[in-house]
Chain A
Amino acid sequence: MASGRDVRDMLGLPICTDAQKSAVQKRAKPAAPARRIHGVAREVAALYGERPPPVAVYEEKKTYRAKRQSTGPVKKWVQQPFTNQARSDGLVLKHWRRKPTTAPPVQDGEDLAMEDGENTEPYIENSAEFVKYNISVDLPTFTDEEYDAHLRSEDWSREETDYLFEVVKDYSYRWAVIWDRYDYQPANKSHLTQETVDRNESSQALAALPFAPAKTRTVEDLKARFYDISAKLMKLRIPEMQMDADQYSLYETLSKFDPNLERNRKNLAAALMNRNMDEVKEEEFLLAELQRINMAANRLDAEREELRARLDAPISNQQVQAGLASFTSSQALQALFSQLFQQDRSKKRASGGGSGPARLSLNASDLIQTPSSSTHPHLSASARRQSTATQPAAQTPIRTLPPQQEYRYNVSTHDRLTSGVTFGSDKLLKMRQAKSNVQTQKIATALAELGIAEVIQIPTSKVGEQFEGLINKVSKLIDMRKVREKEEGEIRVLEAMKERRMSEVKQDPSSNSAADGKTKQEIPDSQEMPSMDGEGEDEDADGDADADGEPDADADGDADIDAEGEEDEDAEGEEESRQPSEMASSRAQSQSAAGHKRSASVFSQTSNKSTKRARK
């Protein structure tokens, strides 16, 4: 009541009259239960008590009966004889119809008399109501001349062809039914059955009929004949040139029907259906397995991708990515940032301005940060804000444009944006520089060989990408060369040794064992893990260190591996001022070039690292 009143109040309707009304209603309400409900026994009604009944009780008489409209005198119905226009035999049936009211009322009065009169000469309605359902299909037709000229077939007699057309008409192109009912009995059976014997054999697989007559045609045979004739007739009526698109496509389907293909397809379909439970289970199992493998492959790919990315340019940690997945919109990021900022500040305040605990909260993200930010370990609040703000932005899929548009508007998306503005040319220049002068020189000469100018005019991001790819290839090439040289050198050494041994054997067979031992040591050294001496352990330690999340430790490993490689590289390994990313990349390249076994082992190591990291 109050709410209604409020509404009225709001709408500015008069309230006083309403109050009167409601007062009336209030008075009426308690009286309502006392009212007898018709159709419910008094005892049952008493059980309702004060509360309203759990189900709405409607008085049927009042609610559901539509008011009976008095539309004049009672309408008469007659059993009206009628004929159906779809029938040719004039069958007269009777249905109930309203007696026509169009007759003038004078005649209405003498109903019965009329009725009797009608009996002698009854009016018969001509019903066309259902004629629309009497449809028959269109069939191509042909004349005798046409048949003789174009449609003859070895396999089909004229009689059977006619029979086929008749059946197709009877069953309205329902081929399954047509085949089921097709039962042609040739007048003189002898000559045709001979021909069809071998056909039968081939079609036995599909039509294993218990009551098959001597002459069996498969659905495909029937279809082939029918379509063939239809196509030919169509071509006769409308030359191919004059067919419109629809007609031509129909013509094509008709003339291209290949019964054998169909048969094979059906056999396959049947075989698919007739598989037993075990086979279906097996398939299900295999599918599940396939899905599992695919998923594993995807995961593996992703891991590899991540690894490669890490080796090229370390990106932020998986864990953080997962954690930050929810911060996809800029608002959310803003909120997150302000929250972090607040936390930070409050903690600072709590700890008396000391940055110790506050730093901890952000240190984790610092660690997995880009090397550029990790090179500035002392962070002011603003620098931290920058780093936290830029990093999640890297994970924000802003809006993806279709590739063409991206290309057109020169929009590019980045996994990670470094702060500040950089020149494209700087980037290119950086790429030219390897970690060692020798390497840089080598790259420069290679580029010169390729005819790449020192200064690239318009260093767009595209150009940069291309250039990066090129540089990668070049450095790979250089690595390969290096390896080749190394291998060649080794071969030379080995050959020299072999020669020496041969001469030794000739001279003194007793020194055999010593030489053997030597080669045994040599061969694994050149190909397998460098685990002969301290190096292997070093690398393990390196792995551990890496797992701890110290990117700088990479440099040591690098140095170790290089030490095992060539002389000139050795010294350069100590240049630790290089960015670890570059080192890592060159390391990966040199390693991948250094033979399968090693690269595999390194990969497994690093993936171990990554999983360890992920677990953390």
Chain B
Amino acid sequence: MNIPNSSSAPAPGEYAGDEVSAIVLDPGWSTTRAGFAGEDVPKSVIPSFYGQIDSDSGSQYLFGENAIHNPLGNLQVKNPWGDDGIVEDWETATKLWEYAITSKLTGTKAGHPSKNGLNDGNDTNGDAMDVDMDTVENQEKPLEDSPLLVTEPGWNSAKAREKTIEIAMEEWGTPAFYLQKTGVLAAFASGKASGIIIDVGASHTSVTPVLDGMVLRKGVQKSTLAGNFVSNQIRLIFKQSQPEIPLTPHYLVKAKTPVDAGAPAQAIYKTFNIPPHDSFRRLEEERVLTEFKESVVEIWPGPGRLSNGTNEEIAKSMPGRPFEMPDGWNQVFGLDRFRPAEALFDAKAAVQDADNPRPKDEHTIPRLVQAAVQHVDADQRPLLLQNIVVTGGSTLLYKFNDRLNYEINSIYPSTRNKLIAPGPVVERKYAAWIGGSILASLGSFHQLWISKKEYEEHGANIVEKRCR
């Protein structure tokens, strides 16, 4: 009942808002985000990894943050995503996404009104609300009452798109469905309808030119130089340093005692009767590495590359950053902290070994941007360069934006280039979801949904026609 002022939310009529309790699902390689359209953060963020324990009685699947970090015997950790940034294992992906939706959104726990008829549990304890009971007979379908907006990468295949609508319509029973590219949605989240979207996620870095809310397909570029690549670089640096830096995840450490910087760790380690699978250890190591990325890794901000002239000397002279491993080993990282991510911009700076060859030059972010711009109509290029939206978890690397800005300005010195990088971490990580949340809560979007009826009439192929 507050008096509206400049900081209060606008009335729905002002922005054509008309919420229909749509659910937005933004599946990514590292996390899967789901939530109700119209909200500002996804309510449900779960890891895209899942646990699998094979036993004689069949496989048991474990989903969610709590389950997969528990070191159970024989636990395997898997990811349904393929190497090309498109879902590979559809069966588990479906289960995983369903878990993301039902565990926090449509399940019994959430107090949201839309729980009314569309849950998987049977213990609907209706409050004093006006309860709508007409969907009780369709209990087995989790999304009976909620339209679903799913995001997809810019290079998604037609097959994968059809598969997605099939799952949504047939397995989840959603009344309406839409598929939208992450690039477009990330641009919407920043309030832009046109622009170049640079998304540096976990498995892929993608550069997507968007014009008036439509992806320019010819310009979409992707490469694997992203978060996972940086993690891998850190591993290599640890391995190649003298002496080798041990990488011990938390679950192996029972107790630790403080040691001097660089001294070997003194810790008591846990033992397991039936140890979890190697993939579990890898996942846990990845958590340590993400921590390392968050707190230590820095990108040389320019001008020039790290290897240029005296830049390394300058970097060396900057105060280092300390890091302590779960087992107590600690060190102050000087020049080394600049090295893991340098290859995102300069392929020849990549740390290499026999299994990890030098990445291709054209996969670095500046070259991707250049290629993307090259494939756009010449008249639109300046417009796009004025709206360079930066999103994805790995863009949170310290000084990432400074460097990107420098690189883009040195490629296009004669245009006005502007980076749009939302400050809040949540907006950077979940930009695509937020854009979806905006889109799906618009009244004007209602006419774009693919309804169940249309799906039944035209078949799965309808996504190709409707979601372009």
| Residues of A that sit less than 8 Å from B by CB | 64-66, 68, 76-79, 84, 86-87, 89-96, 111-112, 115, 119, 122, 127, 129-130, 133-134, 170-171, 174-177, 179-181, 206, 208-209, 211, 219, 266-267, 269-270, 272-273, 275-277, 280-281
Contact = CB atoms under 8 A, between A and B. Distances in A.
Nearest first, the 7 A-B pairs at minimum CB distance are: A91-B451, A133-B444, A176-B377, A86-B447, A130-B443, A266-B378, A280-B413
Contacts of B451: 87, 89, 91
Contacts of B410: 277
B160 interface: no
Contacts of B130: 76-79, 111-112, 115
A129 B414 contact: no
Given A79-B132, A87-B447, A93 B20 contact: yes
Nearest to A206: B378
B212 A177 contact: yes
Contacts of B16: 130, 133
Nearest to A91: B451
A267 B377 CA distance: 10
A79 B130 CA distance: 9
A269 B212 contact: no
Contacts of B252: none
B444 A119 contact: no
Q: Main SS of chain A's interface residues?
A: mixed
A180 B175 contact: no
A77 B19 CA distance: 14
B134 interface: yes
Interface size class of B (residues with CB under 8 A): 35 or more
Interface in B124-178: 130, 132-134, 145, 147, 175-176
B3 A66 contact: yes
Interface string B367-390: 000000011111111100000000
B176 A91 contact: yes
Interface stretch (B103-111, B214-222, B260-268, B337-345): B214-222
Given A111-B130, A130-B447, A174-B212, 17 more contacts: A76-B130, A79-B132, A86-B446, A86-B447, A91-B451, A93-B446, A95-B18, A119-B134, A127-B443, A130-B446, A174-B211, A177-B214, A219-B377, A266-B379, A270-B378, A273-B378, A273-B382
Q: Main SS of chain B's interface residues?
A: loop
Interface in B451-468: 451-454, 468
B175 A176 contact: no
A120 to B, nearest CB: 8
Given A93-B175, A176-B216, A211-B218, A273 B381 contact: yes
A273 B212 contact: no
A177 B147 CA distance: 28
B217 A181 contact: yes
11 contacts: A64-B2, A79-B21, A79-B113, A87-B451, A89-B453, A95-B19, A96-B113, A127-B446, A130-B16, A133-B16, A180-B216
B314 interface: no
Contacts of A90: 453
Contacts of B412: 273
Nearest to B19: A95
B414 A92 contact: no
A206 B374 CA distance: 9
A89 B455 CA distance: 11
Given A68-B1, A174-B212, A174-B214, A269 B379 contact: yes
A478 B145 CA distance: 105
B238 interface: no
